Chains A and B, each alone.
Chain A
């Protein structure tokens, strides 16, 4: 007898608790750069798959702390391990933030360039897609797999096989390192005015040589 009333009470409570559990709240999160758009069919005007406007590259704004990131991005950044490196002479070190593992800056008479280190889970679409994303950032056309040897070479980063990328654009250039590392991909991107970037190529390589990623897998 008693048993039944307790149970039915529990069931009713559960029901009420479940029905009140959905609350809408403002949120914020990071997503990979959007390069395409699909309009919902049924909209009034004919759907045009337009390129989402790409903004001119500017000095990155710091992502606020405590930002909720696309599922898996922040966790991966947290779990990817810490990174140690030597700051090249004349470069200044800025504070890392959010999913950015390191952030360095160099300024000379001809302009400035910034080095960012990011880590994402998985291969983030693969080598070619990421290199083409970088090419787009400095106004270069997308390239095909056959073109890659012209501006990439194998490069050891933190005792693992990575890739060194050299992209020279009209005004801006990128020297970069791509490193698949235990299920994540690390991006070392040195972007800025052509002459500053190219004058610092030996510094960039010295930086990559100095990188040590905490390796919990060996």
Chain B
């Protein structure tokens, strides 16, 4: 027991862990070229064990294809560093005035580790595209999809019934909440190309209703792309039931969107639009894009600033406000942060990254504590030094 303590509180462990952290960052950076930031983060930093494989694009792959380097992942290193720091404090550290600066600095570091974990686990990111002059009251995920059935029969509101795509496992029946319907996934493709069959070619398709039948659409599954700007076309064949009775099988895909006439499921007097789309999060306010502008370096196509002038229309109009969102100057509103992320449609559409991160203040506090700790520590030494000189 005692030796275990010594191990966990040793400075040697700290050094080894920091060395492993550098290695992790190095190999993670190599892989980012291939997999994009999001996937690399998952593989290397949001895992306990990471394995680096020799990249196919690199020289000498034919000889080195077998090369695999396992290493501790971000959670493992972060967790051990956290324990290491705590254990060191409990075993070696005596709280005295002379050491209060060190204590503050270390406390700040602990807080930083905790805030990183919180961000990992609790923060949610999504995107909100808004056209100039248009408004939006929802943001959508860049990766996660959902199957939705929407009842638009009521003149005052629409009623949305959503099933996350992660639940669309072939064969598994799922009840659609607050409707008499249930669905069964026939097949689900995380990425696919869909197109119309060429003239006269027979189409093999489980679909019996909707766009796939009308337009003779064929689905070709594709490997999932991980690059940051890859958009995967999630596609599924879904059979809809009312009680025991099958109403038919529809092809749904996140490229069969508002540009197409809605695919309808009818049961009795009720009608629902059925669609697969990026997961949406609705808000009790609308963001209106008044103006988007984007400045380039003179004589080049390289942008140096984008900005969006927005107006927020909240259901409660006392919360309405105007804001200018530009690079490194996000809008914080109702627990959400809106960053200027991108733009499209010849500068007529602005795309915001919407982040909900309950722990966003913690890193600021921890850096402040570390700075304060250092100032206190050096300040004390400095005062001592001055006294000695006198």
Contacts and interface: CB of A to CB of B under 8 A. Distances in A.
Interface of A: 1, 3-4, 7-8, 11, 15, 18-19, 21-22, 24-34, 36-45, 47-50, 52-55, 57-58, 60-61, 63-64, 66-67, 70-73, 116, 118, 120-126, 137, 183, 187, 189, 191
Contacts of B177: 26-28
B246 interface: no
B278 interface: yes
Contacts of B140: 40
Interface residues of B, number: 72
A41 B344 contact: yes
B86 interface: yes
29 contacts: A4-B5, A8-B83, A18-B121, A26-B174, A27-B161, A28-B179, A33-B152, A33-B156, A33-B158, A36-B134, A38-B349, A39-B129, A40-B231, A40-B257, A43-B231, A45-B259, A47-B344, A53-B262, A70-B284, A71-B282, A116-B156, A121-B316, A122-B317, A122-B319, A125-B313, A126-B317, A137-B155, A187-B156, A191-B155
Given A15-B79, A49-B134, A39 B316 contact: no
Given A44-B255, A71-B283, A55 B176 contact: no
A117 B186 CA distance: 42
B32 interface: no
Interface stretch (B51-59, B162-170, B361-369): B162-170
A38 B136 contact: yes
Nearest to B277: A40
A34 to B, nearest CB: 6
A32 B159 CA distance: 9
A176 B155 CA distance: 14
B178 A61 contact: no
Contact of A32 (B90, B127, B137, B151): B137
A24 B351 contact: no
A43 B278 CA distance: 12
Given A30-B159, A49-B131, A121-B316, A39 B262 contact: no
A58 B151 CA distance: 12
A120 B315 contact: yes
B39 interface: no
B116 interface: no
A183 B316 contact: yes
B159 A67 contact: yes
B275 to A, nearest CB: 11
Interface in B237-286: 255, 257-259, 261-262, 269-271, 278, 282-284, 286
Residue among B151, B157, B175 with the highest chain A CB neighbour number at 10 A:
B157
Contacts of A125: 286, 313, 315
B311 interface: no
Given A30-B159, A33-B156, A24 B86 contact: no
Nearest to B230: A42
Contact of B162 (A21, A28, A67): A28
Contact of A41 (B79, B122, B159, B351): B351
B258 A50 contact: yes
Contact of A28 (B122, B130, B178, B313): B178
Contacts of A3: 90
B315 A29 contact: no
B214 interface: no
Given A41-B349, A70-B282, A28 B160 contact: yes
B282 A47 contact: no
A39 B282 contact: no
A118 B154 contact: no
A67 B344 CA distance: 36
B258 A26 contact: no
A163 B177 CA distance: 37
Interface string B334-353: 00000000101100010100
